[in-house]
């Protein structure tokens, strides 16, 4: 039993030493897969639905007149709406889901092909090193941007339901609650 264990360890060490960039390739592959899963998860969690809700609230807010009675709403709730709307808009302005996914999928295929060729000894060490650096230069900034942006979007999405309910309640009671008629001299908010 000990002989098999020692033999297994030796074979494992020899295969790990077969190409020096194996761990870097595995790490880059895993990081790219994780970014792809994070991106897919964000859409499965409903970022598009949340954005549609924010667009609807922003459209409603643009129709509301600014007057002294409603000033607290414009200073508080509208600023929160404006922040959420702008941050989420930026996500959709960066790139489409298909573009993000295509870049990650292509990068993942490249890393896997390089890993395969390196494991099979089809490329010499210097070519593997150069190709790995090229893949890192292409993928690492993309992965960082996606992970950071997905985390920020998830943070905004965590507050979405309560914000959506609060804003809808505010719209429902906009003129009912205070009984005032808004003046024609009022200004519209900018969202």
**What is the DSSP code string of the chain?**
-HHHHHHHHHHHHHHHHSSTTHHHHHHHHHHHHHHHHHHHHHHHTTHHHHHHHHHHHHHHHHHSPB-GGGHHHHHTHHHHHHHHHHHHHHHHHH--HHHHHHHHHHHHHHHHHHHHHHHTT-S-HHHHHHHHHHHHHHHHHHHHHHHHHHHHHHHHHHTHHHHHHHHHHHHHTTTTTT-PPPPTT-B----
pLDDT of amino acid 20: 79
Please compute the mean of the pLDDT values over residues 53-74 and round it to a whole number: 80
pTM (global) more than 0.75: no
Q: Is residue 78's pLDDT more than 90?
A: no
Q: Is residue 47's pLDDT more than 60?
A: yes
Give the number of C-alpha atoms closer than 13 A to the C-alpha of residue 170, restricted to the C-beta side.
19
Q: Is residue 9's pLDDT more than 70?
A: no
For residue 22, give both structure tokens. Answer: 């194996």
Structure confidence by residue, pLDDT tens digits, 151-170: 999 998 898 888 888 888 88
d(C-alpha 94, C-alpha 149), whole Å:
10
d(C-alpha 30, C-alpha 112), whole Å:
10
Q: Are 138 and 27 in contact (CB under 8 A)?
A: no
Q: Is residue 94's pLDDT more than 90?
A: no
Contacts of 178 (CB under 8 A, 6+ apart): 69
**What is the secondary structure of 143-176 as a DSSP string?**
HHHHHHHHHHHHHHHHTHHHHHHHHHHHHHTTTT
More confident residue, 179 or 41: 41
pLDDT of amino acid 176: 63
pLDDT bin (cut points 50, 70, 90) of residue 32 is very high
Structure confidence by residue, pLDDT tens digits, 101-145: 999 999 999 999 999 999 998 999 999 999 999 999 999 999 999
Q: Helices 47-63 and 77-94: crossing angle, nearest 10°?
A: 130
């Amino acid at each position: 039993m000990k002989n098999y264990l020692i033999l297994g360890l030796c074979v494992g060490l020899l295969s790990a030493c077969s190409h020096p960039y194996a761990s870097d390739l595995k790490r880059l592959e895993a990081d790219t897969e994780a970014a792809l899963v994070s991106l897919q998860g964000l859409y499965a969690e409903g970022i598009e639905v949340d954005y549609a809700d924010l667009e609807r609230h922003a459209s409603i807010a643009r129709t509301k007149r600014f007057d002294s009675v409603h000033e607290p709403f414009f200073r508080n709730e509208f600023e929160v709406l404006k922040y959420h709307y702008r941050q989420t808009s930026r996500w959709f302005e960066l790139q489409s889901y298909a573009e993000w996914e295509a870049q990650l999928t292509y990068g993942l295929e490249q890393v896997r092909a390089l890993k395969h060729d390196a494991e099979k000894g089809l490329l010499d060490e210097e070519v593997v090193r150069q190709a790995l650096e090229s893949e890192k230069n292409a993928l690492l900034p993309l992965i960082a941007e996606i992970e950071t942006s997905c985390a920020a979007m998830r943070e905004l999405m965590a507050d979405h339901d309560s914000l959506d309910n609060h804003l809808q309640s505010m719209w429902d009671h906009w003129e009912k609650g205070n009984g005032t008629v808004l003046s024609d001299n009022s200004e519209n908010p900018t969202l």
